């Protein structure tokens, strides 16, 4: 560890025992002083750099408070050495924690501005690296752009908590907590390098791992894999994207945890052997099967917490040789009050997909084709949009009846005359609606497509009787039935046929195709 002698302004190495020192926290700008600059001594050229004044002021204030040494990240790390850089980043949380005091320099806080008005606008509160610099040291002192003392962390806990969304207790007394809680704190912060969004959280999470600049977002995947090895499964607890039906278990970035809240507890499930393989994340654990035999596709609940109530589960679905997260059910997170211990299914070294969710959606169609519904349109019709997009395969014109789905279709020559096909799926029961795409109900349906129910739709249209609805039920045991319907929407007349392509002797013959043709009146 390199420290700056606050009297001579020269770098001094310390290998084992380090003396008492002050440490600086700031946001980087142009003209920072590097390790090589300081190694050659504070020459006039070095002193002319914009960043030198920060080092000088840090040493001045530190010396006034009886600190003979100070540490500044711009010049106390030899960034030309990858080994030293990796050691510094993995040790930085400990260095800030061991510092006698941390001076925070807010370069964009004017001297005449109050902290109540100025703090929320400071860039320092938006950077990824400054999160650990806020939490690790016990004593944190804030200075404005003129290096005037403004406040201490202990004196402004409520204000800082409001800005950072970090609880008062966590600001006052750093304590172990769930990884998802740390991700929530970091969800609105940014770093210049993509990889640093993962590396800046290492110390907060108690993780050590090698740095691989150039790996991009994979750094965050590696970080989550390391967290899993500690037994903390809270990183599975993040709300999914609304337009993604299937995804891996791991998030793409801390931004995925932005809406989690600050009340996530520690998850402690007994998991044997967690490691990443070419087939996915390998672990041995317990899952719960949801009503086996009653759904079109079996679902499983992966227990995240055994000490919280209601119990928190991750909703999974079997995809080829591994499990994927099914976001069509409550965003992939389920809460249950009842005791489900009798439904336990032991998974011996099961594989769980971690990322590359686009590939998962594409590959999943190979498995779903036998259960999907074919949509056949005449040449004058085309599909304009599908929500969620992952439940619609445009290449094969297939609908996946595993979740609610809206498909907007209409004339190729006149997109003004269009309709929406709404499929409400619950287990193997499907409700099919044809409604006008210009209906006032469409914004509500599109924004709530994953959770909207048949009762809600009926109630909504009950309030708007001017819009007609034709509905057809497709029970799971239709045998040799052909249903035909005609819908009049504005000037567009749609004729639809639900066909069963299975052999008549089959015991169960679900609807396999929807044929739609049109005529303009």
DSSP symbols for 333-368: EEEE-S--GGGEEEEEEEEE--S-HHHHHHHHHHHH
Question: Is-contact 374 421, C-beta < 8 A?
Answer: no
pLDDT at 405: 78
Question: What pairs with residue 4 in β-bridges?
Answer: 11, 70
Question: What pairs with residue 472 in β-bridges?
Answer: 432
153 backbone dihedrals φ, ψ, rounded to 5°: -60, -40
**Cα distance between residue 435 and residue 422, in whole Å:** 8
- Furthest CA-CA distance within the chain: 94
pLDDT at 359: 42
**Cα distance between residue 477 and residue 507, in whole Å:** 8
**Cα distance between residue 317 and residue 289, in whole Å:** 10
Question: Is-contact 398 371, C-beta < 8 A?
Answer: no
Contacts of residue 360, Cβ cutoff 8 Å, sequence gap at least 6: 246, 247, 248, 319, 324, 353
**Cα distance between residue 353 and residue 357, in whole Å:** 8
CATH class of 369-520: mainly beta
399 backbone dihedrals φ, ψ, rounded to 5°: -105, 135
Q: Cα 432 to the chain's mean position, in Å?
A: 32
Q: Where are the alpha helices (DSSP H) in 65-215?
A: 82-98, 115-118, 129-135, 157-164, 168-172, 179-186, 196-199, 202-205
Task: Give the pTM.
Answer: 0.67
Peptide bond into 291 cis (omega under 30): no
Tokens describing residue 81? 């050495």
State the span(s) of the chain assigned CATH 2.60.270. 369-520
pLDDT at 371: 59
pLDDT digit string, tens, across residues 241-293:
655 666 777 888 999 888 776 555 555 555 666 666 666 666 666 566 554 43
Burial degree of 25 (CB within 10 A; 0-12, 13-18, 19+): buried
Three-class secondary structure assignment of 471-518: EEEECCCCCCCCEEEEEEECCEEEEEEEECCCCCCCCCCCCCEEEEEE
Q: What is the pLDDT along the chain (521 residues), one digit of tens a residue?
A: 999 999 999 999 998 889 999 999 999 998 999 999 998 877 888 889 999 999 999 999 999 999 999 999 999 999 888 889 999 999 999 999 999 999 999 999 999 999 999 999 999 999 999 999 999 999 999 999 999 999 999 999 999 999 999 988 888 766 678 888 899 999 999 999 999 999 999 999 999 999 999 999 889 989 998 888 887 878 888 876 655 666 777 888 999 888 776 555 555 555 666 666 666 666 666 566 554 433 334 566 666 665 555 666 777 776 555 677 776 666 666 555 444 443 444 444 445 555 544 344 445 555 555 556 778 888 888 888 777 766 777 767 777 665 677 888 877 777 666 777 777 765 445 677 777 777 777 777 777 776 677 777 776 655 332 233 333 444 333 333 445 656 666 566 666 665 554 433 333 334 567 777 776 65
User: Among candidates 326, 322, 321, which has minimal Cα distance to 297?
Assistant: 326
**Cα distance between residue 350 and residue 180, in whole Å:** 23
Helix (H) or strand (E) holding 63: helix 52-64
């Amino acid at each position: 560890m390199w420290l700056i002698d606050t009297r001579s302004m020269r770098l001094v190495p310390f290998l084992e025992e380090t003396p008492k020192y002050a440490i600086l926290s700031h946001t980087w700008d142009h003209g920072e002083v590097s390790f090589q600059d300081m190694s050659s001594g504070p020459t006039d050229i070095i002193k002319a750099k914009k960043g030198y004044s920060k080092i000088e002021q840090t040493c001045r204030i530190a010396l006034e408070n009886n600190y003979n040494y100070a540490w500044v990240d711009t010049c106390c790390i030899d960034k030309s050495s990858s080994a030293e850089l990796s050691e510094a980043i993995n040790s930085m949380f400990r260095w800030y924690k061991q510092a006698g005091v941390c001076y925070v320099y807010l370069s964009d806080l004017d001297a005449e501005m109050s902290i109540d008005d100025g703090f929320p606008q400071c860039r320092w509160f938006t950077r990824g690296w400054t999160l650990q610099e806020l939490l690790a040291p016990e004593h944190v002192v804030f200075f404005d752009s003129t290096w005037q003392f403004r406040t201490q962390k202990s004196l402004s806990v409520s204000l800082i908590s409001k800005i950072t969304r970090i609880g008062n207790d966590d600001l006052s007394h750093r304590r172990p907590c769930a990884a998802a809680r740390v991700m929530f704190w970091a969800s609105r912060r940014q770093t210049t390098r993509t990889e640093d969004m993962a590396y800046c959280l290492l110390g907060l999470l108690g993780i050590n791992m090698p740095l691989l600049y150039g790996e991009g977002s994979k750094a965050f995947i590696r970080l989550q894999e390391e967290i899993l090895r500690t037994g903390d499964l809270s990183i599975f607890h993040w709300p999914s994207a609304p337009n993604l039906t299937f995804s891996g278990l791991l998030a793409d970035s801390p931004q995925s945890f932005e809406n989690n809240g600050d009340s996530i507890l520690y998850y402690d499930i007994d998991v044997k052997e967690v490691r990443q393989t070419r087939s996915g994340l390998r672990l041995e654990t317990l899952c719960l099967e949801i009503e086996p035999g009653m759904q079109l596709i079996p679902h499983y609940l992966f227990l995240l917490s055994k000490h919280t109530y209601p119990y928190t589960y991750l909703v999974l679905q079997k995809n080829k040789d591994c499990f994927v997260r099914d976001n069509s059910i409550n965003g992939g997170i389920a809460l249950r009050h009842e005791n489900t211990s009798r439904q336990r299914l032991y998974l011996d070294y099961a594989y769980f997909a971690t990322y590359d969710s686009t590939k998962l959606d594409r590959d999943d169609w190979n498995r779903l084709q036998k259960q999907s519904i074919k949509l056949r349109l005449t040449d004058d019709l085309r599909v304009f949009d599908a929500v969620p997009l992952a439940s619609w395969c445009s290449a094969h014109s297939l609908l996946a009846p595993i979740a609610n789905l809206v498909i907007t279709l209409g004339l190729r020559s006149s997109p003004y005359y269009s309709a929406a096909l709404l499929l409400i799926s619950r287990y193997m029961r499907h409700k099919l609606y044809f409604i006008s795409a210009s209906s006032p109900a469409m914004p509500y349906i599109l924004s709530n497509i994953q959770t909207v129910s048949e009762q809600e739709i009926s109630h909504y249209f009950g309030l708007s009787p001017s819009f007609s609805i034709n509905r057809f039920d497709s029970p799971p045991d239709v045998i040799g039935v052909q249903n035909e319907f005609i819908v009049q929407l504005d000037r567009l007349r749609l004729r639809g046929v639900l066909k069963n392509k299975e052999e008549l002797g089959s015991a169960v013959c679900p609807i396999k195709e929807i044929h739609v043709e049109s005529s303009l009146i």
